[in-house]
Amino acid sequence: MSGSDSEEQASIAEGWRLVSAGRCREVVVGDGTECRLGHVECRGGSSFGVGVGAWEILDEMPVFYNLNTVEKREVLIVFLQVMRNLDDAFLVKAWQQGVARTRLFFKLLEECLTLFEHRREGDCLLINSSSRSPDSEGPIMPKYSDLLSPSINAYLSEASRQEHRPQGTPENGYMWHRVSPQISSPSQPYSLREALAQAQSSRIGASTRALRESLHPLLRQKLELWEENLSAAVSLLVLELTDKFSNAAASHSISTDYSKLDCITTILTSIFSRSQPLTFWKAFFPVFNNVFNLHGATLMARENDRFLKQVAFHLLRLAVFRNDSIRRRAVIGLQILIRNSFYYFVHTTRLRVMLTITLSELMSEVQVTRMRSDGSLEETGEARFLRKSLEEMADEDRSSDLVRDCGLPPNALDAIHEGSADNCWIWLEVKYLSDCLLLALDAGTEHALLAPVMTVDRYAAAESFYKLAMAYAPVPDLHIVWLLNLCDLHQEMQSWAEAAQCAVAVAGVIMQALVGRNDAVWTSDHVVALQKICPIVSSDVAAEASAAEFEGYGASKLTVDSAVKYLQLANKLFAEAELYHFCASILELIIPVYKSRRLYGQIAKCLTSLTNIYESIVEQESSPIPFIDGTYYRVGFYGERFGKLDRKEYVYREPRDVRLGDIMEKLSHIYESRMNGNHTLHIIPDSRQVNAEELQPGVCYLQITAVDPVMEDEDLGSRRERIFSLSTGGVRGRVFDRFLFDTPFTKNGKSQGGLEDQWKRRTVLQTQGSFPALVHRLFVIKSESMEFSPVENAIGMIETRTAALRNELEEPRSSEGDQLPRLQSLQRILQGSVAVQVNSGVLSVCTAFLSGEPATRLRSQELQQLIAALLEFMAVCKRAIRVHFRLIGEEDQDFHTQLVNGFQSLTAELSHYIPAILSEL
């Protein structure tokens, strides 16, 4: 910078200081078409040429930024005094001077909002911007000097005299009183100006807060009122100028960036992000509505994503306020965004994604829980207010009253295109939007409430992560984050199948997005194959992936390499769980990627892995011991201390080595810690039906029952016992959503009785989802029971043994040269069926139902079924003994002789009840 330029800038700065300090004459306002600060004569005898027009402050912005905070405020007071006296024609003429100057003008308005912002102590709990406030902690720097010119003092006085408040407590919850002159005293002067000067001169404290605290309470209250009113006046003037600018921009008569309207978006964002009084918010939302009416197409475009996201965040922030008037206006603001979404896009998909993102960000700042006196956590008022706002947003019945109370026209929410009579607004879709946001809010709140018990109750921790993942499903990035957190938790617990399902779900989100964009080697058929492994993979995510392309949350992050990475992780975890069928399906999804890229080495590795996997499957299916992927237990909760779990049933999936006693001990440990002095925990030891009304008050009950998964094609009405049901079905995919357990009972109330009195109740449970799942337990959505009479029970027992023998005789071998039944397995079943010392089971059936009074009570059909079952059982035993003779060597001859003798003895005994058995065999 040259010497002359430096001297000129110093002269200009000095001129601004003279004007602001009141040492120059009154500001001269023009005739409405031109405004000049004129040639000002200074009181010190010198003269200073301020410029040829009021707009020249924009040319001296570098000088303005070199001023201190107090000087900036006082220069802005001059600027605002000029602005409030200008007519619209001059403003439009000024905004026509160029885009750069228009931006500088709005930059100055931003400075006004920043430097005149007023925030009461403890106000606006959600605005974490105290560092932006000029009166935050720091050296004493008064907002306004005592040397202001008369015209500036007049502006300040007029602005600060907005003391028209309702009687009693106003809407904003603060009691306002006028300060009485009689309260002044020599030690506490009545004049606020004198009090501030006295406090500063005595150098009390080292910050603005200390200066305030040094004032008499009544003077401090007057200062608060004065500063809030001045701040409101400045904000309202900025809002008025913005509204005028918006109207002028609608006619394209000014110079600005019409592609983004950055002047408007910047000011609106600045307004939202600062503390504002209720008086301002009452005036703001009609202007906000008008701006979106005039410029909705531009403001809702993807180019303004950042602006929309900020607006959505601040509207949700205001929706948390305890002040009902501000909160209702935030609801109207959200509805204005919804109206524009309907008007320009005919749906709210993209807006739903954006609001979900902003709600997630807000939840990280809002305190949703607080500590009770007993040390437990409860939901805060902020969370309840936000929930209430989201519900009101979709309340059609209250909508018209809300619009009227906020000063908007009755048709403010109509989304009707010109030349059409159809309103695009769909309340059902707004309700769905509200429900999605409430789901995310509830998931976040529940996660925070569970924080103290998550280390003990890993089931609850997993469910909490799962609910968060599902709540944020519309946003792939957030959905994946919570799924991976859940995956890590499962790996810590060595729950390999559940961890693998999480990895599959992540891969599914990415794969569907890629298929939806036609940007991958996969097709919809591959997605269907993935859904068979993990049913929660849904096509809805693919439809919204492109809608989720907001800054920092882009679907562009979803790549083929990412999908392959998580498919490989799922393959590794499924292998740990020995669920090899799933491994094979996953590898077959990875191979097409390597083929498309001609990565032959990777293809070879995949094929080698496939070979090993299929060999493992063959080994599982040919093993004499049926493969069990896990154990399953039905758990019923009864007791008010369980909260939301009370009177609900779940099916738990546990590792295969977890027995009934183990899970009883584990659940007792988890829930005993939650009992207080008024509640105790009790385990119901059997599987009888529970009547919750008959349980003892103050006692919480857990009913834990081992259950069996039901195969897809299994006949649930079969009378057979289920001990062999899984071994006869092969390994297959092993995805279960139905489970059953049998409960013995008698009509006289006892659980056990003789065969002629022993009934059986079979209960079939349907879960919400299928195992293996992303969580350890699934809610029971349906429970059905059927009863078997004593004779049906007996027939089922005989049919079960018959089926076991036939399975050994007819099951094909896994390799050539091994086509005969397994000798050891056959010997075990035969010994339990026909050996003399154990054949009392079949004989006891005959004694109970084919002799004496019980026989007379049987219906003809039941009698025929029982006899047919016994004859078939004996026929299969005879066939099995013959096969056994062909298989044995010299060392097993004695055992075979025992089997023959036992069979002959059993036949003779049965002939007393069924004479035809001798001719049949």
pLDDT tens track for 349-361: 899 999 999 999 9
**293 occurs within a structural domain:** no
Could you tell me if 849 and 858 are in contact, meaning their C-beta atoms sit under 8 angstroms apart?
Answer: yes
Measured between alpha carbons, how far is 489 from 511 in angstroms, rounded to an integer?
A: 24
Q: Are residues 715 and 612 in the same domain?
A: no
Q: Are residues 819 and 885 in the same domain?
A: yes
pLDDT at 548: 61
**856 occurs within a structural domain:** yes
In this structure, of 201-205, 255-259, 312-316, 703-707, the range with the lowest mean pLDDT score is 201-205
Enclosing domain of residue 857: 799-918
Q: Which one of 452, 486, 501 terminates a domain?
A: 452
pLDDT at 794: 83
Rounded to an integer, the average pLDDT of 664-672 is 90
Which pLDDT tens digit goes with each residue over 192-240? 556 556 655 654 444 566 666 666 777 777 777 777 888 888 999 999 9
Rounded to an integer, the average pLDDT of 61-80 is 82
Q: Which of 232, 238, 247, 264 is nearest to 80 (CA)?
A: 238
Please tell me which residue, 346 or 202, carries the higher pLDDT value.
346
Which residue is listed with tokens 């009707």? 416
Measured between alpha carbons, how far is 369 from 448 in angstroms, rounded to an integer?
A: 7
pLDDT at 1: 45
Q: Which of 503, 514, 685, 669 is nearest to 582 (CA)?
A: 503
**CATH number of the CATH domain containing 545:** 1.25.40.410
Q: Are residues 533 and 446 in the same domain?
A: no
Which pLDDT tens digit goes with each residue over 886-909? 887 777 788 888 888 888 888 888
Rounded to an integer, the average pLDDT of 660-689 is 86
pLDDT at 445: 93
pLDDT at 341: 94
Measured between alpha carbons, how far is 896 from 808 in angstroms, rounded to an integer?
A: 17
**Percent of the chain whose predicted confidence (pLDDT) is above 90:** 36
Q: Would you state the structure tokens that stand for residue 445, as one six-digit string?
A: 């709140």
Please tell me which residue, 604 or 844, carries the higher pLDDT value.
604
Q: Which one of 761, 788, 815 terminates a domain?
A: 788
Q: Are residues 321 and 424 in the same domain?
A: yes
Could you tell me if 485 and 502 are in contact, meaning their C-beta atoms sit under 8 angstroms apart?
Answer: no
Q: Is the peptide bond before 772 cis (omega within 30 degrees of 0)?
A: yes
Q: Are residues 911 and 828 in the same domain?
A: yes
Q: Are residues 445 and 479 in the same domain?
A: no
Beta bridge partners of 637: 648, 702
**Residue 427 burial (CB count, 10 A):** 11
Flag whether pLDDT at 141 surpasses 80. Answer: no
pLDDT at 120: 67
Q: Can you give the length of the chain in residues?
A: 921
Q: Are residues 444 and 469 in the same domain?
A: no
Predicted confidence band at 524 (pLDDT cuts at 50, 70, 90)?
confident
Q: Are residues 71 and 106 in the same domain?
A: yes
Q: Would you state the structure tokens that stand for residue 197, as one six-digit string?
A: 């000067």
Model-level pTM?
0.79
Could you tell me if 537 and 609 are in contact, meaning their C-beta atoms sit under 8 angstroms apart?
Answer: no
pLDDT at 888: 79
**134 occurs within a structural domain:** no
Q: Which of 620, 663, 653, 659 is nearest to 772 (CA)?
A: 653
Which pLDDT tens digit goes with each residue over 92-117? 888 998 899 899 999 999 999 998 88
**CATH number of the CATH domain containing 904:** 1.20.58.740
**183 occurs within a structural domain:** no
**22 occurs within a structural domain:** no
pLDDT at 201: 60
Which pLDDT tens digit goes with each residue over 154-167? 555 555 554 434 33
Q: Are residues 538 and 653 in the same domain?
A: no
- Measured between alpha carbons, how far is residue 166 from residues 150, 177, 228, 818 in Å? 31, 11, 16, 97
Which residue is listed with tokens 């964009």? 517
Q: Would you state the structure tokens that stand for residue 137, as one six-digit string?
A: 């902690």
Q: Are residues 858 and 897 in the same domain?
A: yes
**314 occurs within a structural domain:** yes
What DSSP assignment string belongs to 255-323?
Answer: -S-TTT-HHHHHHHHHHHTS---HHHHHHHHHHHHHHHHHHHHHHTSGGGHHHHHHHHHHHHHHTT-S-
pLDDT at 147: 52
Measured between alpha carbons, how far is 479 from 490 in angstroms, rounded to an integer?
A: 17
Measured between alpha carbons, how far is 69 from 512 in angstroms, rounded to an integer?
A: 54
Q: Which one of 597, 622, 647 terminates a domain?
A: 622
pLDDT at 552: 62
Q: Are residues 438 and 537 in the same domain?
A: no
Provide the domain count of the chain: 5
Q: Would you state the structure tokens that stand for residue 702, as one six-digit string?
A: 């857990």
Which pLDDT tens digit goes with each residue over 566-600? 999 999 999 999 999 999 999 999 999 999 999 99
Measured between alpha carbons, how far is 204 from 727 in angstroms, rounded to an integer?
A: 87
Q: Are residues 767 and 891 in the same domain?
A: no
Beta bridge partners of 759: 745
Q: What angle do CA 774, 777, 778 make, to 5 degrees?
A: 85
In this structure, of 319-323, 383-387, 506-510, 865-869, the range with the lowest mean pLDDT score is 865-869
Query: Helix, strand, or coil here: 779?
Result: strand
**Residue 325 burial (CB count, 10 A):** 16
Flag whether pLDDT at 795 surpasses 90. Answer: no
- Measured between alpha carbons, how far is residue 442 from residues 94, 370, 471, 775, 798 in Å? 51, 15, 9, 18, 53
**171 occurs within a structural domain:** no
Flag whether pLDDT at 861 surpasses 90. Answer: no
Amino acid in position 36: R
**3 occurs within a structural domain:** no
Buried b (16+ CB within 10 A) or exposed e, 603-629: beebeebeeebeebbeebeeeeebbeb
